[in-house]
Amino acid sequence: MVRDYRALHDPNAEYTMRDLSSVSMNLEASRGSRDVHITDVQTTMVDGTFPWTLVRVYTDAGVVGTGEAYWGAGVPELIDRMTPFLHGENPLDVDRLYEHLIQKMSGEGSVEGVTVTAIAGIETALHDLAGKLLEVPAYQLLGGKYRDTVRVYCDCHTADEADPRACADEAERVVEELGYDALKFDLDVPSGHEKDRANRHLRPAEVRHKVDIVEAVTDRVGEAADVAFDCHWSFSGGSAKRLAAALEAYDVWWLEDPVPPENLEVQAEVTRSTLTPIAAGENRYRVTEHRRLLEDQAVDIVAPDMPKVGGMRETRKIADVANQYYVPVALHNVASPVGTVAGAHVAAAIPNALALEYHSYQLGWWEELVEEDVIADGRIEIPEEPGLGVTLDLDVVAEHAVEGEDVFDEE
């Protein structure tokens, strides 16, 4: 690619005509791609950290796009339900097809929930497909990139997640042996002091136990890593405020989902009550729901899950709204390498990306699902190949497919 565009007008530049010829060829290729039509959509569920739902969109040009929907019951059936709506359509019309599916499925829950998730899987596959047809990486379809690599935060787990020392030991191991400088641990773990977990109330001894975990981990890794802590919507508003206040003395990257997601007023009240950064968004759908979260200034960090929230462009739209409120984006992610790399393309294309989650560091074959290397030294280098830039290993897909699942057709 010519970076200095003045060179195109320089008669002494040896490569000027070659580059102009390349641009012309790409334009001709893009014109020809308007004649491509979708012929089929297929899914396969892989038994990974979660039952990952992989999606492929097939065309009459022999080019196939691969994506991923957030895991969950009913997603493959919904995608199968939507497949006739895509037959004969041009896969380059990504936005129009996304809105087409939202409208066609409006009576079946396309405002939020699993229907949006299913559409997100198709939309991600369309970005891979469109990138291949136009011979550009997926981030280019989102407007270009701000960064060449994306920081990854490792979601860490131990055999005894309630033991502060065990958490600190694992944090140190992940930093020193695996090369991550960003981590997350769970705080919604049993403390041994619970009387009734259903009422969401934290007794003082329970708060102290959670503070002990935070203190042990942050002291152990020091400035070598940023550490976030996840509550999984477990606590009442009052308990969340007391916990957040107790953590203000520690170097907490963010406290995630301290209260249930439905009541935005309580979410905002917790966020405004503390200096501890509060993150949420994983259980909000599409830009409309995240807009309310941001307009109410109910989060310090917004955390959409790309394969769940509505897809790549929908996540980009959320980031654009967040940017108006100077809020960074930490992408929640529990996906296979396909969804993870798709999320990395989004993170590369937005100015306010903070980090992208990685949830499968203890699964030995995670990266084998694709032919390319994905994570190195706690970073994802953004592929420059067309589309997402990852290639499914169909043998590995077949080896780890959920029992009874059909593996994809060959390209």
Residue 411 has pLDDT above 70, yes or no: no
Span 219-259, pLDDT tens digits? 999 999 999 999 999 999 999 999 999 999 999 999 999 99
Mark whether 108 and 48 lie in a shared domain: yes
Mark whether 222 and 166 lie in a shared domain: yes
Q: Which two tokens stand for residue 102?
A: 């939202």
Adjacent-strand bridge partners of 190: none
Q: In this predicted structure, what is the pLDDT of residue 1? A: 36
CA separation for the pair 89, 194 (Å, rounded) = 56
Q: Which position has the token pair 């087409």?
A: 100
Q: In this predicted structure, what is the pLDDT of residue 193? A: 77
Rounded to an integer, the average pLDDT of 131-160 is 97
Q: In this predicted structure, what is the pLDDT of residue 7? A: 40
Rounded to an integer, the average pLDDT of 343-371 is 97
Is this prediction's pTM over 0.75? Answer: yes
Rounded to an integer, the average pLDDT of 135-144 is 98
Span 168-193, pLDDT tens digits? 999 999 999 999 999 999 999 988 77
Q: Which position has the token pair 């109330």?
A: 201
CA separation for the pair 228, 251 (Å, rounded) = 9
How many domains does the structure of the chain reveal?
2
33 located within any domain? no
Mark whether 241 and 329 lie in a shared domain: yes
- Using an 8 Å Cβ cutoff, are 260 and 233 in contact? yes
Q: In this predicted structure, what is the pLDDT of residue 16? A: 40
Mark whether 149 and 130 lie in a shared domain: no
Q: Which residue has the higher pLDDT, 120 or 197?
A: 120
Residue 88 has pLDDT above 70, yes or no: yes
Residue 407 has pLDDT above 50, yes or no: yes
Q: In this predicted structure, what is the pLDDT of residue 79? A: 97
- Percentage of residues of the chain with pLDDT beyond 90: 85
Pseudo-torsion of CA 293, 298, 302, 306, nearest 10°? -30
**Phi, psi torsion values for 409, nearest 5 degrees:** -65, 155
Mark whether 274 and 384 lie in a shared domain: yes
Mark whether 248 and 127 lie in a shared domain: no
Q: In this predicted structure, what is the pLDDT of residue 22? A: 44
Q: At what angle do helices 204-221 and 237-246 cross, to 10 degrees?
A: 40
Q: In this predicted structure, what is the pLDDT of residue 23? A: 39
Mark whether 224 and 359 lie in a shared domain: yes
Taking alpha carbons only, the member of 77, 411, 40 closest to residue 69 is 77
Handedness of CA 368, 373, 374, 376 (dihedral sign): positive
Residue 25 has pLDDT above 90, yes or no: no
Mark whether 340 and 213 lie in a shared domain: yes
405 located within any domain? no
Mark whether 120 and 190 lie in a shared domain: no
Q: In this predicted structure, what is the pLDDT of residue 384? A: 98
Domain range for 128: 38-136+396-400
**Phi, psi torsion values for 62, nearest 5 degrees:** 80, 5
Residue 21 has pLDDT above 90, yes or no: no
Residue 197 has pLDDT above 70, yes or no: yes
322 located within any domain? yes
Mark whether 100 and 219 lie in a shared domain: no
Average pLDDT, the chain: 92
86 located within any domain? yes
Contacts for 327 with CB less than 8 Å, ≥ 6 apart = 294, 299, 300, 301, 302, 352
Q: In this predicted structure, what is the pLDDT of residue 194? A: 76
13 located within any domain? no
Rounded to an integer, the average pLDDT of 159-168 is 95
Residue 268 has pLDDT above 80, yes or no: yes
Q: Could you tell me the CA-to-CA distances from 279 to 126, 155, 179, 253, 254 in Å, in that order?
A: 30, 15, 24, 10, 6
Rounded to an integer, the average pLDDT of 31-45 is 87
Q: In this predicted structure, what is the pLDDT of residue 303? A: 98
Rounded to an integer, the average pLDDT of 349-359 is 98
Q: In this predicted structure, what is the pLDDT of residue 192? A: 79
CATH no. for residue 215? 3.20.20.120
- Percentage of residues of the chain with pLDDT beyond 70: 92
Q: In this predicted structure, what is the pLDDT of residue 32? A: 53
CATH no. for residue 56? 3.30.390.10
Query: Beta strands 226-230 and 255-256: pairing type?
Result: parallel
Mark whether 224 and 117 lie in a shared domain: no
Rounded to an integer, the average pLDDT of 346-370 is 97
Residue 28 has pLDDT above 80, yes or no: no
Residue type, 117: T
Task: Please tell me whether residue 285 adopts helix, strand or coil conformation.
Answer: coil
Mark whether 155 and 288 lie in a shared domain: yes
Pseudo-torsion of CA 140, 145, 147, 153, nearest 10°? -70
Task: Please tell me whether residue 331 adopts helix, strand or coil conformation.
Answer: strand
